[in-house]
């Protein structure tokens, strides 16, 4: 049997610190919302390593299962139950991740009415802000697709471990399920790449916006990118 999983490699939003200034322009209010949105994604970033750990544990259990013959069915059943419990924990982490992303989006959306208030003498900054807004919307759409695909994969994983607890399971049915899982994780892979692409574009556009707005900001490296392949 072949069974491949992908653990997500996700890029984090860049963090900027604005030098102290008096009063607040529309640009500076936008800055406040943008950086608060980054902070609200802390929960999203915090789920990445635990998800990797859980998938590694689950993968080890799966490998143990496929190495066993049917005369060890009781062991297969026990390991499958353990793996199923890990899938449930992954589901919990995924939902915490989504809550964080949704909260960040709600904060980010507050910049929309402020874009029209950007000073006319900084038209380039206004255009950059529009590009920034569109790219972040694309990023959130990409995340929704990623979340949906990953959630579907978790459902298929759960079904697999339920099937493995059935002593009368047919090899044909098992192979079909594994094919479904592999096919769906291909979708996850593509959704993950798209999300990372928009994250990279957004981080660059944010730098460009701050620069065109004449804002004195310092950049802090805040990347939680990791390659997590099974």
- Identify the CA nearest to 51 among candidates 179, 211, 226: 226
Intra-chain end-to-end CA distance of the chain, in Å: 15
Specify if 229 maps to a domain: no
- Identify the CA nearest to 157 among candidates 31, 228, 59, 46: 59
- Identify the CA nearest to 228 among candidates 50, 11, 9, 46: 9
How many structural domains is the chain composed of? Answer: 1
Specify if 10 maps to a domain: yes
Q: Is 228 helix (H, G, I), strand (E, B) or coil?
A: strand
**For residue 1, what pLDDT band results from cuts at 50, 70 and 90?**
very low
pLDDT value for 14:
64
- Identify the CA nearest to 43 among candidates 89, 78, 93: 93
Specify if 211 maps to a domain: yes
pLDDT value for 17:
59
Q: Is 15 helix (H, G, I), strand (E, B) or coil?
A: strand
CA–CA dist 101, 70 (Å, integer) = 44
Write out pLDDT tens, residues 182-213: 999 999 999 999 999 999 999 999 999 999 98
Q: How far is CA 209 from CA 119, 169, 230, in A?
A: 13, 58, 38
Specify if 84 maps to a domain: yes
Q: Which residues pair with 61 in a beta bridge?
A: none
Specify if 159 maps to a domain: yes
- Identify the CA nearest to 211 among candidates 136, 132, 124: 124
Specify if 1 maps to a domain: no
**Range of the structural domain that residue 19 is part of:** 6-222
Better pLDDT: 12 or 174: 174
Specify if 98 maps to a domain: yes
pLDDT value for 119:
82
Instruction: List the CATH number of the domain containing 197.
Output: 1.20.120.570
Percent of the chain with pLDDT over 70: 85
Q: Which residues pair with 15 in a beta bridge?
A: 220
Specify if 125 maps to a domain: yes
CA–CA dist 202, 133 (Å, integer) = 9
């Amino acid at each position: 049997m072949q069974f491949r999983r992908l653990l997500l490699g996700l890029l984090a939003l860049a963090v900027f610190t604005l030098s102290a200034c008096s009063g607040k322009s529309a640009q500076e209010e936008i800055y406040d919302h943008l950086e608060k949105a980054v902070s609200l994604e802390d929960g999203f970033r915090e789920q990445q390593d635990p998800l990797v750990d859980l998938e590694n544990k689950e993968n080890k259990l799966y490998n143990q299962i496929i190495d066993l013959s049917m005369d060890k069915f009781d062991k297969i059943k026990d390991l499958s139950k353990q793996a199923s419990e890990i899938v449930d924990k992954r589901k919990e982490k995924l939902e915490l991740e989504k809550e964080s992303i949704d909260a960040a989006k709600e904060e980010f959306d507050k910049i929309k009415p402020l874009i029209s208030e950007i000073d006319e003498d900084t038209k380039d900054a206004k255009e950059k802000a529009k590009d920034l807004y569109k790219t972040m919307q694309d990023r959130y759409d990409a995340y929704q697709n990623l979340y949906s695909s990953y959630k579907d994969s978790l459902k298929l994983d759960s079904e697999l471990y339920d099937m493995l607890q059935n002593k009368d399971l047919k090899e044909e049915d098992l192979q079909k399920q594994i094919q479904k899982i592999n096919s769906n994780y291909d979708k996850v892979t593509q959704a993950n790449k798209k999300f990372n692409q928009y994250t990279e574009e957004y981080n660059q556009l944010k730098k460009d916006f701050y620069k065109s707005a004449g804002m004195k900001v310092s950049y802090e490296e805040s990347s939680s990118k990791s390659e997590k392949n099974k």
